[in-house]
Amino acid sequence: MPGTKSLLAQELTNFFEAAWLELPAEAGKVLLGAGDEQALRKAGWKAYDAWISLANALTNAVYSDPIVGEATGRVMETALRLRQIGGAMAAAFFGILWPSIGLPTQSEIVALRDELLSLREELAAYTARLSAPDSAETDMQDFATGHIGAVVSAGAIGKQVGQRLAERDQ
């Protein structure tokens, strides 16, 4: 039909009428004192609604094109593959580098944390059993409870605490 416009052309026409004709005309009327602010607000909202409708129509037109859909799918697949490759390369690089510079691995940190938690639980159980601590026991408790959170390598401290507990129990 020769008299009908496409949806996109109709939305574009509505936007230009609202934003370039009606809104400036109402703003001019308000500035000259011949119009009211209610009509200006209405023209502003009409321009806003026309803009949103135009953006929606453009988005629908772009995404309904099969070429855009294929290109978007390929880009997403490529990005995910690159992310996988980057993750594997980082794991391989840091897996070799980490131990060579003497930094602990995640499994060593987890083991250290577990050891600290068990020492805290053991210390809490031991202090609960004590009824009247003497000065040596109080010193050991103050040392263990005051410094256990700041320990970086708990292996040596764990051995010392274990030796002190063994000496105490003998």
pLDDT of residue 167: 62
Residue 152 has pLDDT above 50, yes or no: no
Average pLDDT, stretch 70-96? 92
pLDDT tens sequence across 41-70:
999 999 999 999 999 999 998 888 999 989
Whether the pTM exceeds 0.85: the reply is no
> What are 132's two structure tokens?
């009247």
Full DSSP string of 23-76: HHHHHHHHHHTSS-HHHHHHHHHHHHHHHHHHHHHHHHHHHTSHHHHHHHHHHH
In a domain, 42, yes or no: yes
Separation CA 48–CA 46 (nearest Å): 5
Q: Which residue has the higher pLDDT, 135 or 56?
A: 56
Q: Is the pLDDT of residue 96 over 90?
A: no
Residues 59 and 111 occupy one common structural domain: no
Q: What is the pLDDT of residue 11?
A: 92
Average pLDDT over residues 131-158: 53
Look up residue 129 and give its amino acid: R
* 74-97: average pLDDT: 91
**pLDDT attached to residue 126:** 84
- Whether residue 100 is contained in a domain is answered as no
Establish if 95 belongs to a structural domain.
Answer: no
Is residue 149 domain-resident?
Answer: yes
pLDDT, average across residues 63-91: 93
- Which residue range(s) make up the domain with 11? 7-64
The rounded mean pLDDT for the chain is 81
Longest dimension (CA), the chain: 105
Q: Could you tell me if residue 78 is inside a domain?
A: no
Q: Evaluate whether residue 131 is within a structural domain.
A: yes
For residues 15 and 13, give the distance between their C-alpha atoms in angstroms, rounded to a whole number: 5
Cα 77 from Cα 39, distance rounded (Å) = 50
Question: Over the range 9-27, which residues count as b (16 or more CB within 10 Å of their CB) and which as e?
Answer: eebbebbeebbeebbeebe
pLDDT band at 18 (very low <50, low <70, confident <90, very high): very high
- 82, part of any domain: no
The structural domain count of the chain equals: 2
Does residue 2 lie within any of the structural domains? no
